[in-house]
Amino acid sequence: MEPTSPTAVPPLAGFTVGVTAARRADELAALLERRGAAVLRAPVLRIVPLPDDAELLDTTKQLLDDAPDIVVATTAIGFRGWIEAADGWGLGEALLRRLGEVELLARGPKVRGAVRAAGLTEAWSPASESMAEVLERLLDEGVDGRCVAVQLHGEPLPGFNESLRAAGARVVAVPVYRWMPPEDLAPVDRLLDAVTSRALDAVTFTSAPAAASLLGRAVQRGRLDAFLDALRTDVLAGCVGPVTALPLQAHDVPTLQPERFRLGPLVQLLARELPGRVRPLPVAGHEVEIRGQAALVDGALRPVPPAGMALLRALARRPGWVVSRADLLRVLPGAGRDEHAVETAMARLRAALGAPRLIQTVVKRGYRLSLDPHADKYASPSG
C-alpha cells in the first residue's frame, strides 16, 4: 500500500477504534472514519421495544388514574415509544392530556425535541444533559410527598430513583424498552479479543448498559482480568458522559469524557487524545510516530502489517537499544520457535516503513531503532 502524503493524514489515521453502540452506530462510525480511524463495530446490546408489555400498560393506566406531580423524560426514543405504545392501546390522547398537566422535565435537547413534537412543552431541561443535574433540581425544589414518574432507558438509573425515594418522593418507573444481549455474540467476542490483544487503540461507549454488558460478557468468557488490564493500560475507554462511565469506573478503569455529552465532542476528544499519546522518535534522520496499526514517517502514513507492528513496538519500547532475535520472536504472533520468522517479518517491516535504515541489524545480537545521536533522552533501557 502506498503511504499517505503528509498533508492528507487525518488525526485518527492509523488508529483502530471499537464501537459498542446499538443506536446511532452508523453515525458514530462515520464520524470516526471521517477522521481517519479504522472502526471495529460490535453492538453489545439491542433495543427491544415493549409496545405490548403488560408492565408498561399497567404503569400508563396507573398514571392516568392517579396523576403524578412530575414526569422525567430521559430519552427521545423512549418518550416517543411510550406515546406510540399508548396510541396502540387507544390511550394516546389521554396520556398526552395528562402529560400536559404535570411538570414535565426533559433531559437534553433530543428529549426536548421529542416532547415538543408530541405537542407538549417541557417545564425545564438541563443545559448539561445530565441526570445528575435533573436530580439536583428535583431535590432542591423538594419532592417530599410528591409523585415522580421516571421514564427509564433500558435499565434502572443508578441511584436516581433511590435518591428521590430517600427524599420522600413516591417514584413510578416507566419501562418503555429494554436492553437485551445481541442475537449474534461473535462480533462482541471479536471486540473483546481485540481489546485484550491491544489490537484496538480505543473503545467507545454511549450508554451505561452497553458498558455493563461488555463487562458481563468478559466475565462469561473468563477474560475479565485481561480485559480490565488492557483498558487500564493501553486501550482508551471513551464514554459519552459520566453516567455511561459508571460501570467502568467501578472497576477502576480510567475513562475519557467530553464536556458536552454528544457523539461529535467524543470523537473530537479522541482525535486529540490518541495522537497526543504518541511520542515522536528521531530515527536515522527521520521523525517516526508509532500509531495503532501504522507508522508516520516524516508525516507520511505507512500502514504496517500486524507482525511488523509487533516488532516495531518491541523496538520502540527501548529505542536505540539492541533487542535480541529471541526477544523479538516472543512478541511475534504465531511464530513458534523459528527465528527465521523474525527475519522475514523484519524485511516486510522495513519495506512497509519505506526507509530501511530506520532499523539497524546488529550482527549476532539482534536489531535496534537507529536513534539519532542527539536523542539521548529517548535511549533508556526501560523505554
Strand order of the sheet with strand 286-290? 281-283, 286-290, 294-297, 300-303
The average pLDDT across 13-29 equals 91
pLDDT in the model for residue 188: 97
Distance CA 53, CA 89 (A): 11
All residues at 6 or more sequence positions from 250 whose CB lies less than 8 Å from its CB, including other chains: none
- 162-166, 331-335, 350-354, 365-369, range with the lowest pLDDT: 331-335
Strands 366-369 and 323-324: antiparallel
Q: Which architecture characterizes domain 6-45+182-276 according to CATH?
A: 3-Layer(aba) Sandwich (3.40)
Best CA proximity match to 147, nearest among 57, 63, 73, 56: 63
The average pLDDT across 30-54 equals 87
Res. 70: pLDDT tops 90: yes
pTM for the model stands at: 0.72
Q: Which residues pair with 180 in a beta bridge?
A: 46
Averaged confidence pLDDT in the chain: 89
Res. 337: pLDDT tops 80: no
Strands 294-297 and 286-290: antiparallel
pLDDT in the model for residue 319: 87
pLDDT band at 244 (very low <50, low <70, confident <90, very high): confident
Res. 44: pLDDT tops 90: yes
pLDDT in the model for residue 335: 58
- Report yes or no: 321 and 379 within 8 Å, Cβ to Cβ: yes
Distance CA 111, CA 244 (A): 17
The average pLDDT across 8-17 equals 91
Q: What percent of the chain has pLDDT over 70?
A: 92
Grid coordinates representing 11 are 488525526
For 163-178, write each residue's pLDDT tens digit.
999 999 999 999 887 7
Distance CA 132, CA 158 (A): 10
The average pLDDT across 287-296 equals 90
CATH topology of domain 48-179: Rossmann fold (3.40.50)
pLDDT band at 382 (very low <50, low <70, confident <90, very high): very low
pLDDT in the model for residue 48: 77
**Residue 63 vs residue 339, higher pLDDT:** 63
pLDDT band at 233 (very low <50, low <70, confident <90, very high): very high
For 186-199, write each residue's pLDDT tens digit.
999 999 999 998 88
Best CA proximity match to 329, nearest among 349, 350, 348, 344: 344
Best CA proximity match to 244, nearest among 266, 271, 221, 217: 266
Beta strands in 29-97 (DSSP E): 38-41, 46-49, 70-73
pLDDT in the model for residue 364: 86
- Helix H or strand E encompassing 266: helix 263-276
Q: What percent of the chain has pLDDT over 90?
A: 62
pLDDT in the model for residue 35: 96
Distance CA 381, CA 320 (A): 9
Res. 143: pLDDT tops 70: yes
Res. 123: pLDDT tops 90: yes
pLDDT in the model for residue 289: 92
Question: Domain segments of the chain: what residues?
Answer: 6-45+182-276, 48-179, 281-378
For 250-285, write each residue's pLDDT tens digit.
999 999 999 887 889 999 999 999 999 888 899 988
Res. 226: pLDDT tops 60: yes
Cα dist from 242 to 133, 153, 311, 366, whole Å: 12, 16, 37, 47
CATH topology of domain 281-378: Arc Repressor Mutant, subunit A (1.10.10)
First-to-final CA distance of the chain: 30
Torsion of Cα atoms, 252 then 197 then 336 then 351, to 10°: -130
pLDDT in the model for residue 157: 63
Say if 6-45+182-276 and 48-179 have the same CATH topology. yes
Identify which of 68-72, 131-135, 155-159 has the greatest average pLDDT: 68-72
Q: What string of H, E and C letters represents the secondary structure of 188-230? A: HHHHHHHHHCCCCCEEEECCHHHHHHHHHHHHHCCCHHHHHHH
pLDDT in the model for residue 381: 41
pLDDT band at 6 (very low <50, low <70, confident <90, very high): low
